[in-house]
Amino acid sequence: MTAVDNLWYLADEADQQAEQTYHDLQSRHDGVTEFTKTRWVSRRRFQTVAQRISGNGLPYGAHALVTDDSGSVLLVRHRDVDMWVLPGGEVDDGESFKAAARRELHEEAGIEATFDGLALLGRVEFHGDGHTTWGALPIYEGAADSTELSVDDPDGEIVQARWFETLPDDARDRSVLRSWLEDGS
């Protein structure tokens, strides 16, 4: 007996939700800088990501690109990937993307920020076990209301928060962040 592979159907559902989410974010935020990233993942990881995307169009949730008065950028150290990343994470039921970015910023760095809109809008493409799907990655632009950092991450994934005048070599998506920061956005 042959098992039916329904992963293609899940990937198609994810694609449709991602398209709706991406279009909605584009239409509400003029002049946002867009980028594309590609990831090759295991079949198991592909299924997990496609299920997330099917829910709201986002594989990784919403994130924040926050700067202080001097132009330093806030990054947090993610334990599992062992890199400096932008604060952010999954969107709770009934929560807007911006509210999720704000909540995650507070949990992961202990600060508030005034958000101006989207800094970046990513298209993250996933390939796994012969299947392909993609999801949107909204990154909100914010100015820090304070600079005193403290980590209180309920997931335990974030081990440190820090301001950077220049991006560290082990910053995730360093080239995308550097381009955005150099453009004076």
Are 60 and 104 in contact by the 8 Å Cβ rule? The answer is: no
Amino acid 1: pLDDT: 39
Amino acid 179: pLDDT: 85
Helix-, strand-, coil-residue percentages of the chain, each rounded to 5: 30, 35, 35
DSSP for 102-127 reads HHHHHHHHS--EEEEEEEEEEEEEEE
Are 107 and 95 in contact by the 8 Å Cβ rule? The answer is: no
Amino acid 184: pLDDT: 58
* Residue 73 DSSP class: E
88-136: per-residue pLDDT in tens?
999 999 999 999 999 999 999 999 999 999 999 999 999 999 999 999 9
State which amino acid sits at residue 85: V
Amino acid 2: pLDDT: 43
pLDDT band at 181 (very low <50, low <70, confident <90, very high): confident
Amino acid 93: pLDDT: 93
Please name the residue that has the structure tokens 């914010």.
Answer: 142
Walk me through the domains of the chain, giving residue ranges and CATH numbers: 7-182 (3.90.79.10)
| Burial letters 24-61, b for 16+ CB under 10 A, else e | ebeeebeebbebeeeeebeeeebbebbebbbebbbbbb
pLDDT band at 36 (very low <50, low <70, confident <90, very high): very high
Which of 32, 49, 31 lies closest to 40, judged by CA?
Answer: 49
Is the pLDDT assigned to residue 172 strictly greater than 60? yes
44-64: per-residue pLDDT in tens?
999 999 999 999 999 999 999
Q: Going by DSSP bridges, is the β-strand pair 73-78/158-164 parallel, antiparallel, or unpaired? A: antiparallel
Token readout for 106 is 């507070």
7-34: per-residue pLDDT in tens?
999 999 999 999 999 999 999 998 899 9
Regarding predicted confidence, which is higher, 1 or 4?
4
Q: What angle do CA 75, 77, 153 make, to 5 degrees?
A: 95
